[in-house]
Amino acid sequence: MECMERLVAQLDESRALERKAMAELFAENLREQKKARLHKNLFRFFIAGYLLLLMAISYQDVLFTKQIDSLSGKKHTAVVDILGAIMPEGEFSGEKINLGLNEAFKDPDTVGVVLRINSPGGSPVQSSLIYDEMQRLRAKYPKIPLFVAIEDLCASGGYWIATGAQEIFVNPSSLVGSIGVIMRGFGFQKTLDFLGIENRLLTAGKNKAFLDPFGPVKEEENQHAKKLLNKIHQQFIETVKKGRGDRLKIDQEGLFEGLIWTGDEAVQLGLADGVGSVDSIARERLKTPKTTNFSNQDTFMDQWSKKLMGSTQALLGSVLPMAILDRNP
């Protein structure tokens, strides 16, 4: 009997210890969950604060940088950049460049405007839109001179735009010109034949599949494409002649045939007026060394998205060819 009582007592004690251990384990688990929730909430607050800080910085950059220069009351040389391909919906579309030019000209402290170009060219339409706006602004603000400063490359559509300025300045080693038009395309018919693939293309309209890369070359389509290119080329030539006037040495062989020239040669041929840069134009021609950049490549949300993407990465570790004015040196 006494043994039974001792056994029961031991069992009760064991159960009590087990219940105590379970209670302690439960309490520890609860503490860990609370701690995890706290860390998660702190992390969320950190991310939210980080994003708000980025938005505040972007907001300040986009909305206030230029105003600060203007409110200072100091005269400045306005700068607008074209530093890439000139294409619709791109960083350097006609719409974005023209917006920057308008802001630059209408600023009351602008002494002169310098369009800085480092571009292989691009769309003839976008180039023409920028050129036309340059002419309009020059007529509207006759007291504000407009210059172009060419850096490494100013070819095709880039040079189309450059001719809209009063004067063009280059580096001796700049590459300038490429007054021509190009239409790129590929032909895959022999590849399809080799692979045993049949091109089953249906159209309504004789020329709807114009320059189809999967079909045979049609001479009448080639001739029509060449007419289009020649017409755009002629528009380009007339724009250059109008912009450069008597400064051009039009008797130079190959001047309008797509060749590129160095900066020194460009000055000799009348494609440019002299050697210079944004800073030298500001200092020597405009007598206003202080520069303010009025480029408008991105909207507020675009800039914020790019900054967010770059910071987050650092934190975590048509078948139809398009006629374009471009040059890949």
Residues designated catalytic: 156, 208
**What tokens were used for 297?**
């490549």
- CB distance 199 to 215 below 8 Å: yes
Distance separating alpha carbons of residues 249 and 254, to the nearest angstrom: 11
Q: DSSP for 72-138? A: TT--EEEEEEE-S-B-TTSTT-HHHHHHHHHHHHH-TTEEEEEEEEEE-EE-HHHHHHHHHHHHHHH
C-alpha distances in angstroms, 176 versus 64, 131, 257? 36, 17, 13
E strands along the chain, which residues? 76-82, 110-119, 121-122, 146-155, 167-170, 175-177, 182-183, 260-262, 274-275, 291-293, 323-326
Secondary structure letter of residue 215 according to DSSP: S
